[in-house]
């Protein structure tokens, strides 16, 4: 009778791991969807200054960005400080149109809360920043945020 | 009939895990942080600006070499926070420092609100870095005063308050009173 003995010899049956990859792929897609990829490719060099008294920008959909700094490609855009709106170089006069467009693409209820985040390089002179601020005032975009990085309390003044 | 051999899918999970960690590491959920300000509405040329008494103004001038002149005296930026705090709180009721006005604020009761205004003026040649540092110090002064008040009344720091009524009360008691003059062009732009 030994000839008909079952070949299986006890032991725990193996767990099927075939669906494991599906679960992980689901994770993967979840993360790919929720992470936002930077919306603009920078064509100006921006290194924002450091500060300690920071506030977070709450709603990212209600923020429009203005970049100011030296162009990354000097041979194309010169060596002076330039403003970047969306994907291209702009002058101070274009800010009005830019703000109007940004407003139009938002819900009517949210338009008042539209914040302009100024990402300005730390070597920039205040003249151009003042011009931008005057322009924003003119078009009633009054909420602004000077974009900064977090500084360690002790290191704030070491750069001077 | 013979069954075709099954492909081993055990390592599939490892591969997708690898992809997952790759995306987790490379995609930064970049949170934008900054110093918030509200610009004044467009100036109306027909309305004359209100006169403010000299004792109620704390002038901060930044020149094109990033040097500070605070209340007419050259000052180092490390001293600015302390001076601004003293100006805004005026603890000893010094007649040189700003007046206070008794105001009824919900949740706080009667509170002496300072009439002091900090006025910043910079040159067009001032560096943005210096300007942000000054703004940061002044914001820090206001935040410290708010923290002290919140600690006194509600036993919590200002940014730990959750009740919007309490936050409003503290904001009303110690407003962000920073005004910016139009920049002058003395140093020339370059």
Domain ranges of chain A: 44-151
Is A17 in contact with B15 (Cβ distance < 8 A)? no
pLDDT in tens, B58-79: 999 998 888 999 988 898 999 8
Q: What is the DSSP letter of A69?
A: E
List Cα–Cα distances, B179 to A81, A91, B57, in angstroms.
26, 26, 10
Q: Is B77 on the interface with A (CB under 8 A)?
A: yes
pTM above 0.80, yes or no: no
Nearest to B143 by CA among B98, B174, B105: B174
Taking the CA of residue B38 and the nearest CA in chain A, the distance in Å comes to 5
The CATH architecture of the domain made up of B54-145 is 2-Layer Sandwich (3.30)
Residue A121 has pLDDT above 90, yes or no: yes
Instruction: Point out the residue among B29, B31, B189 whose CB comes nearest to the CB of A35.
Output: B29
What is the predicted pLDDT for the residue at B144? 92
Which of the listed ranges A58-67, A149-158, B38-47 does the model predict with the highest average pLDDT? A58-67
- Best probe of the B interface among A52, A125, A132, A133, by most B CBs < 10 A, is A125
What is the predicted pLDDT for the residue at A160? 38
The CATH architecture of the domain made up of A44-151 is 2-Layer Sandwich (3.30)
Instruction: Point out the residue among B20, B132, B183 whose CB comes nearest to the CB of A148.
Output: B132
CA-CA-CA-CA torsion sign (A73, A78, A83, A84): negative
Q: Cα–Cα distance between B78 and B70 in angstroms, integer? A: 12
- ipTM over the 0.85 cut-off: no
pLDDT in tens, B120-158: 998 888 999 999 999 999 999 999 999 998 888 888 888
Nearest to B15 by CA among A21, A16, A23: A21
Q: Is B24 on the interface with A (CB under 8 A)?
A: yes
Q: Is A136 on the interface with B (CB under 8 A)?
A: yes
The phi-psi region of residue A118 (left if phi > 0; otherwise alpha if psi is between -120 and 50; otherwise beta) is: beta
Per-window interface: A 8-27 vs B, CB < 8 A: 17-18, 20-21, 24-25, 27
What is the predicted pLDDT for the residue at B24? 75
Is A126 in contact with B183 (Cβ distance < 8 A)? yes
């Amino acid at each position: 009778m030994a000839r008909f003995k079952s070949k299986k010899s006890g032991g725990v049956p193996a767990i099927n791991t075939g669906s494991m990859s599906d679960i992980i792929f689901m994770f993967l897609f979840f993360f790919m969807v929720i992470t936002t990829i930077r919306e603009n490719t920078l064509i100006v060099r921006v290194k924002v200054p450091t500060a300690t008294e920071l506030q977070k920008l709450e709603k990212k959909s209600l923020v429009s960005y203005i970049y100011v700094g030296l162009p990354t490609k000097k041979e194309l855009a010169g060596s002076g400080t330039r403003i970047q709106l969306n994907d291209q170089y702009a002058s101070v006069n274009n800010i009005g149109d830019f703000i109007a467009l940004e407003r139009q693409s938002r819900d009517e209820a949210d338009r008042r809360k539209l914040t302009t985040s100024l990402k300005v390089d730390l070597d920039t002179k205040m003249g151009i920043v003042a011009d931008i601020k005057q322009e924003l005032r003119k078009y009633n975009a009054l909420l602004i945020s000077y974009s900064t990085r977090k500084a360690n309390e002790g290191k704030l003044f070491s750069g001077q | 009939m013979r069954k075709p051999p099954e492909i081993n899918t055990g390592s599939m999970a490892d591969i997708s895990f690898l992809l997952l960690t790759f995306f987790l590491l490379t995609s930064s959920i970049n949170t934008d942080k900054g110093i918030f300000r509200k610009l004044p509405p467009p100036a109306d040329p027909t309305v004359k600006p209100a006169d403010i008494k000299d004792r109620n103004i704390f002038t901060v001038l930044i020149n094109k070499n990033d040097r500070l002149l605070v209340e007419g005296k050259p000052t180092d930026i490390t001293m600015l926070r302390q001076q601004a705090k003293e100006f805004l709180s005026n603890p000893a009721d010094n007649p040189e420092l700003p007046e206070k006005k008794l105001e009824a604020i919900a949740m706080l009761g009667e509170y002496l609100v300072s009439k002091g205004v900090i006025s910043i003026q910079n040159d067009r040649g001032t560096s943005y870095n210096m300007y942000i540092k000054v703004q940061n110090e002044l914001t820090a002064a206001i935040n410290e005063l708010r923290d002290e008040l919140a600690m006194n009344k509600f036993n919590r720091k200002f940014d730990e308050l959750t009740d919007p009524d309490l936050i409003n009360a503290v904001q009303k008691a110690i407003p962000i009173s920073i005004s910016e003059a139009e920049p002058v062009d003395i140093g020339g732009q370059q």
